[in-house]
């Protein structure tokens, strides 16, 4: 067997915010696809089906478990959005320095949480 170099993996690289944001970006995208799409289609179907179907959707969405799902989906959306903006900046060739990359990663994660809080505060307090 040939003596081939081994690609560096988690044993070599230290965990950092940039790795966490990358993983969160993938997880939130999958979460929106597998949870958000059915919820969106159910909402649209209930909206098109009439008052009774929409009342059922509202009852389920207003239940505490339904609210957890909706808050989770909005967090996934805003986290994915902030991470996507971070990747856009990286694609333009900026923020590749380690310090700036870590700061951008932290801003991305905190921004997703803050945008979710502001979004739900706006919805619940109006």
Predicted pLDDT at 14: 75
In a domain, 25, yes or no: yes
Predicted pLDDT at 92: 92
Contact criterion met (CB below 8 Å) for 35 and 73:
yes
Predicted pLDDT at 110: 97
Helix (H) or strand (E) holding 101: helix 98-125
State which residues form the domain around 101: 18-125
In a domain, 9, yes or no: no
First to last CA, the chain: 68
pTM of this prediction? 0.86
Cβ within 8 Å of residue 56, ≥6 positions away: 46
In a domain, 73, yes or no: yes
Distance CA 90, CA 96 (A): 7
CATH classification at residue 51: 1.20.1300.10
Predicted pLDDT at 16: 85
Distance CA 42, CA 23 (A): 28
In a domain, 22, yes or no: yes
In a domain, 48, yes or no: yes
In a domain, 93, yes or no: yes
Alpha-carbon distance values, 4 to 1, 24, 53, 70 (Å): 9, 32, 61, 48
The C-alpha angle 17, 108, 115, rounded to 5 degrees, equals 140
In total, how many domains does the chain have? 1
Residues 9-37: pLDDT tens digits? Answer: 656 677 889 889 999 999 999 999 999 99
């Amino acid at each position: 067997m040939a003596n081939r170099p081994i690609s560096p993996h988690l044993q070599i690289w230290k965990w950092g915010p940039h790795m966490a944001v990358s993983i969160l970006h993938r997880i939130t995208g999958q979460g929106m696809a597998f949870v958000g799409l059915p919820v969106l289609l159910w909402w649209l179907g209930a909206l098109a089906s009439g008052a009774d179907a929409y009342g059922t959707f509202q009852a389920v969405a207003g239940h505490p478990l339904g609210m957890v799902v909706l808050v989770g989906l909005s967090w996934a959306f805003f986290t994915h959005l902030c991470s996507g903006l971070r990747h856009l900046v990286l694609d333009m060739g900026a923020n590749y320095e380690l310090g700036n990359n870590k700061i951008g990663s932290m801003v991305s994660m905190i921004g997703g949480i803050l945008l979710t809080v502001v979004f739900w505060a706006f919805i619940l307090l109006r």
